[in-house]
Structure 1
Amino acid sequence: MKLDLLRTLELEVPTHAGGRRHLSAASGLVVIDGTWYVVGDDALHLAVFDQPAGVEAGAPGRLVRLFAGELPADAKQRKARKPDLETLFLAPAFRGAPHGALLAMGSGSRENRQRLAWLALDEAGTPSARVCEASLVTLYEPLHARFSDLNIEGAFVNEACLYLLQRANAGSPENAVIRYDWAGIAAWLGHGGPAPHPVSITVLDIGRIDDVPLGFTDAKPWRDGSWVFSAVAEATDDSYRDGACLGSVIGIVDRAGRVQRLERIEGDWKVEGLDVTSVPTEPLQLVLVTDADDPDRPAQALRLIWDRSGKSIANPEASA
């Protein structure tokens, strides 16, 4: 599957004192009315790109702080202290967010990676500048008991359920779909207290590349109860250490939880975030963001269009 390069994720200001003016580890993406909202797994901020329109035309992104403090510039120290925000998704209304909210969640792979930040949406669907925080400890507690190496890398709401995606690695090769009743999650977000338990946990085999298991990196709802996901084959035995990326795939899961389509992406891109930018009646159009796994290399934004036969269309203008 071939991709179009849309832009480099450059920033107006660094994400930390003395840092570089780009995101290097983009890990979650939501597009609202042409504006891109991106989280990086090694940052304390949300990056906002207003109407990106191409590699040259896109203005640098601005930052919205999600958590207080500063992260070290040293890569090892930064990795140890980062909140590891791996998911970004839109949620329906709950108390304090009558028009819904934009939520960012930590992976849960370490004690300091169990935080959530959310921004309420206004009537037009624009996120507020006011950030609210919550702990994910009680939500993740039963998941730590189920998974020896918890690593939540995708989240979305679909048909009154919240889905969380557990990412596989070579040492813990199970990908899992964790489903909650959204009403229970909404009550917990709005009122606090103990978080609800999942209503189901389903292991999903999505294959391997060169004997390295593919692991979920993001997902968004599509149509008729189906959802679209990205996954990468990363040669590592746990959720903490990075490894060589052997390739990425895009897949579709139907309402019954079966993988219907799975296609490998051309090149060695490590796709960590995606969103759907087409309406359900059109060919599936996705925008993707990458993790460079190198603080000196900026993350990239990419575009992909699938036609109904499952083929990739590299140039959407030519296919119109």
Structure 2
Amino acid sequence: MIHAQYDPALLVHLVRQVPLRYAAGADHALDRPAHVRAGSGLAWVGERLAVVQDDANFIALVDPATGLALSVVLPAGAEGKRQFDVGRGNKKQKSDLEALVSIEEPNGSMLLAIGSGSSKRREHVVTLERAGQTDETLALIEAPALYKALRDATDFSGSDMNIEGALIIGDVLRLFGRGNGKVSKHRVPLDATCDLHWPSVLAYLAAPHKQLPPKPTQFRQYELGEADGVRLTFTDATLAWGDRSARPLVLYTAAAECSPDSRRDGAVAGSAIGVLDSSADGAVVRYALLLDAQERPLPLKVEGIACGSADSRQIFVVLDVDDPDAPSVLCELRLDGPWPRPNGHA
């Protein structure tokens, strides 16, 4: 078990925030609202930030300066619906896409969006080849064998699996599981990571009915600390400013949410930005809380993270307000204090 340490010297300052809305407005024929709902993951595609949503079948390609987005339309669910919530009575039908990774390829960016796996309906993976280009190609893939392998790896899945983050390190796809579930069958919810052989994941996604998925390996479990007495749990992760070293710096987000299980929302006590530094032997995890002017945790649910391009102190996060009628919010943050830097970054 790796224990995160709260470090009051690590500071996080809010530079600006902007609500996320579609540049073209609502489209009722597509069941698309005017705003980006429930942002759950961030990744760069060229000069835009891709935002995946856990309760709407769209990927938003956001201009970070204005918050205006283009939409990538995902396949509709039952009755042609692309929005899912309690009010509509169809929340259980959502794909619950939570993790998002951008992979640079010779012909453009590939986006990989991963469902949480918190129920059998949420075992989908989306691939978007040449994201943002006119010839982009999208696939929604049912991946039950992959999710079974992950769920059977109880050192990762714990009692109530909930995949929330992912990143690529060399030929490894690393998944981050959120431990906001409930105790079940003598197992406890875990904040944990595991590794999958990335080329084998690609081979499986190309032929999920014929190809066996890779087995998860390299399990690591974490205690991430707390905010206002509520346990912090992973909500996303990213490589620090494109660090491609063998042991890169990883930035992560975590939320302190009083969830009854991995499928229901709860009151949010606060959120944290943390750094996982494994450049030396072992792993050192430190985190900072998002605080108000009175140095109390802000009751905000940070769901996605991406590093900025200005310098190694700029990051972007997306807030999920857990309200289908309100837009998600993109925040530009500045990291001050003794945050570690990747090699070659000031």
- TM-score, normalised relative to structure 2: 0.78
Stretches of structure 2 lacking an aligned partner (at least 5 in a row) = 1-11, 183-187, 292-297, 341-346
- Paired position in structure 1 for 2:314: 285
- Paired position in structure 1 for 2:70: 62
1:262-290 Cα deviation digits (max 9, x unpaired): 100122221101111238xx433211111
SS in 2 for 1:214: strand
* Larger CA deviation: 149-158 vs 191-200: 191-200
Percent identity between matched residues is 33
- Paired position in structure 1 for 2:307: 276
- Paired position in structure 1 for 2:285: 260
Map 1:120-199 onto structure 2 (within 5 A): 120-121=129-130, 128-145=135-152, 146=154, 147-169=158-180, 171=182, 172-192=188-208, 193-199=211-217
SS in 2 for 1:269: coil
Shift of 1:23: 1.9
Whether the 8 Å contact between 2:159 and 2:189 is mirrored in structure 1 is no
The separation in 1 between residues aligned to 2:134 and 2:176, in whole angstroms, is 24
* Larger CA deviation: 15-24 vs 76-85: 15-24
The reply on whether 1:44 has 2:69 as its aligned counterpart is no
The separation in 2 between residues aligned to 1:183 and 1:20, in whole angstroms, is 36
The separation in 1 between residues aligned to 2:58 and 2:161, in whole angstroms, is 23
Total equivalences in the alignment: 300
The separation in 1 between residues aligned to 2:25 and 2:194, in whole angstroms, is 37
Stretches of structure 1 lacking an aligned partner (at least 5 in a row) = 312-320
The reply on whether 1:306 has 2:335 as its aligned counterpart is yes
Shift of 1:164: 0.5
The reply on whether 1:296 has 2:325 as its aligned counterpart is yes
Residue identity opposite 1:32 in structure 2: V
- Paired position in structure 1 for 2:3: none
Whether the 8 Å contact between 1:16 and 1:73 is mirrored in structure 2 is no
The separation in 1 between residues aligned to 2:151 and 2:317, in whole angstroms, is 29
The reply on whether 1:234 has 2:266 as its aligned counterpart is no
Shift of 1:118: 1.0
The reply on whether 1:102 has 2:111 as its aligned counterpart is yes
1:42-71 Cα deviation digits (max 9, x unpaired): 01111122x332xxxx26322211223314
Residue identity opposite 1:185 in structure 2: V
Residue identity opposite 2:120 in structure 1: E
Shift of 1:128: 4.6
Residue identity opposite 1:253 in structure 2: L
- TM-score, normalised relative to structure 1: 0.84
The reply on whether 1:116 has 2:141 as its aligned counterpart is no
Shift of 1:121: 2.6
Shift of 1:184: 2.1
Q: Name the Cα RMSD after superposition.
A: 2.7
Q: 1:142 to 1:119 in 2, by over 3 A?
A: same
Counterpart selection for 1:218 from 220, 236, 239: 236
Structure with the larger RCO, 1 or 2 (CA within 8 Å, 6+ apart): 2
Whether the 8 Å contact between 1:271 and 1:288 is mirrored in structure 2 is yes
Residue identity opposite 1:242 in structure 2: D
* Larger CA deviation: 249-258 vs 220-229: 249-258
SS in 2 for 1:204: strand
- Paired position in structure 2 for 1:318: none
SS in 2 for 1:243: coil
Shift of 1:34: 2.0
1:186-211 Cα deviation digits (max 9, x unpaired): 33234541210112221111112233
Q: 1:99 to 1:298 in 2, by over 3 A?
A: closer
